[in-house]
Amino acid sequence: MSSWDDMLSGKPFSCADPEIEAAAGRCREVLFDFNHTRDREAAVAQLRSLFGRTGQSFWVETGFHCDYGCNISVGERFYANAGCVILDECPVTFGRDCMLGPHVGIYTATHPIEGAQRRLGLEYGRPVTIGDDVWIGGHAVINPGVTIGSNVVVASGAVVTRDVPDHCVVAGNPAKIIRRLDGAHEISSGTF
């Protein structure tokens, strides 16, 4: 297996591997162009060339960063506000109708706990999966290996360290369920 395959499968890998460095370099070039264009059609085309899969309708505000891009899949009507960071060493998959507030961080990358192991330069990842109709508030963090169900609200500033079931609101650090949603189509003016 290559280092790229090791990375995608969650095995330890070195980000200094030439194949991985080349993929990261391509991503940086596309992101530079994306983050500096004023042409919306060009920006969408750049993201389509970068992401693994997109819906027909999606948008990401500038100030966006990811490591490789090709490991990110976004569903229909995906929206990410300014300053979004997605570290996609492993797959990051979004369902339909997902909204990310400003400065949301979604991380698949992680490192060994022991300093001696970190000094070896190895890292590994765990995939992140996010269902349909998910709203992630500003400055929230989704940690490696987390699955978020459908019809979920992640409150601003929450740090999600464990899986989140369908139909709930989570908040805090670490995030905990603070409300169950009954699935009714209510319109509320609640701020999270």
Task: Give whole-number Cα distances, 69 to 44, 46, 74, 190, in Å.
Answer: 13, 11, 11, 33
Residue 150 to residue 147: CA distance in whole angstroms: 10
* Residue of 36, 65, 103, 111 marked catalytic: 111
187 inside domain:
no
pTM recorded for the entire structure: 0.92
pLDDT of residue 39: 96
Residue 130 to residue 182: CA distance in whole angstroms: 19
Number of domains in the chain: 1
192 inside domain:
no
pLDDT of residue 183: 61
Task: Look up residue 158 and give its two tokens.
Answer: 């929450």
71 inside domain:
yes
Task: Report the 10 Å Cβ neighbour count for 56.
Answer: 6
Q: Is 167 a catalytic residue?
A: no
**CATH number, position 165:** 2.160.10.10
167 inside domain:
yes
In order along the chain (192 residues), what is the average pLDDT of each group of 10 residues? 91 91 97 96 96 96 97 98 98 98 97 89 95 98 98 98 98 97 59 45
| Cα 76 versus chain centre, distance | 15
